[in-house]
Amino acid sequence: MSSALEASYEGEWGYTIRNEDIDRLKEAGFDTIRLPVRWSAHAGRWGRYKLNKDLLARTDAIIDYAMSRDMNVILNVHHYSELNSWPSRHERRLEGIWKQLAAHYENYPDGLIFEIVNEPNGKMTVQRTDALNKRVVARIRKIQPDRWIVLATAEWGTLAGLLQSQPPSDPRIILSWHYYEPFVFTHQGAEFFQPTPPVGRNWGDAADVDRIANDFRLAAAFRDKHNLPLLLGEFGVFDAAPVEQRAKWIGRVRHLAEANRFGWCHWGLSSNFRSYDADKEAWIEPIRAALLDD
């Protein structure tokens, strides 16, 4: 559910989550939504780092509706850029945010899954991210001993960060990684990234296909080494690429994820990288088919 609650406020980036969007996801065949939230923009700066009640209520409403439709929800802390720049100032704040979320959602069913933080990078090194993950898991476990928790790794959650990480020993942990390779293809025309990769990069020759297959073999081997489930938490192609090329890459990644027994979440629904056209109130059919058809 991208570009909604991970903005500074819902609607800032042109998208507000609607119950009918969750209905469409369910009816299309999805079983899980990932709900990115910029909690850092709605929490106190000292003391108990109190979370904004209105944002909690809004998040409750989305989670409750999705779960009423028998869907799982992955709730995460998204776009906490200050953490990546000044970890010594913000690590304790993230722990405080999760202490509150763990208490607030203590009685929710197993279908609600926590994801500690999205794409650590910058000064959040592999070692620092591993240490913070372990502390936050321990804090959550004091309140919720059995909640499934997704752990992102450093270097923007990429394969490189995953392979260097040392996850904690916990039977209710899900490892996570994000996949956007080759970046010059998946992010062509994405003006939020500078320098912007130019439009026109095609994908799909034998070398391209082999690279993805090899990356997924490495991720699966890491998963097996640690005996923990692995989630492909994000993958997608920016809208500037031709839709046929987007669908070709997305379909290949999705099939490799399933062949390697990874859960997956596509980024995203209705903003950039989209799979649904809210203006036309219709699925972008080649993308829907790449994600869901046999």
Look at the block and give the residue holding tokens 């998204």: 78
Q: What is the largest CA-CA distance in the chain?
A: 55
- Quick check: 46 pLDDT over 90? yes
Q: How confident is the model over 98-108, as pLDDT tens digits?
A: 999 999 999 99
Q: Residue 271: what pLDDT?
A: 85
Q: How confident is the model over 242-264, as pLDDT tens digits?
A: 999 999 999 999 999 999 999 99
What is the arithmetic mean of pLDDT over 40-60?
97
Q: How confident is the model over 115-163, as pLDDT tens digits?
A: 999 999 999 999 999 999 999 999 999 999 999 999 999 999 999 999 9
How many Cβ atoms sit within 10 Å of the Cβ of residue 202? 13
Q: Residue 193: what pLDDT?
A: 92
Structure tokens at 187: 């992010």
Look at the block and give the residue holding tokens 């489930």: 229
Residue 39 gets which letter from DSSP?
G
Is-contact 9 52, C-beta < 8 A?
no
Q: How confident is the model over 205-251, as pLDDT tens digits?
A: 999 999 999 999 999 999 999 999 999 999 999 999 999 999 999 99
Rounded CA-CA distance 161/126 in Å is: 7
Is-contact 127 91, C-beta < 8 A?
no
Residue 94 gets which letter from DSSP?
H
Is-contact 213 181, C-beta < 8 A?
no
Angle in degrees, CA 97, 272, 290, rounded to 5: 105
Rounded CA-CA distance 150/263 in Å is: 12
How many Cβ atoms sit within 10 Å of the Cβ of residue 27? 9
Give the pLDDT band (50/70/90) at residue 294.
confident
Q: How confident is the model over 176-203, as pLDDT tens digits?
A: 999 999 999 999 999 999 999 999 999 9
Q: Residue 151: what pLDDT?
A: 98
Global pTM exceeds 0.95: yes
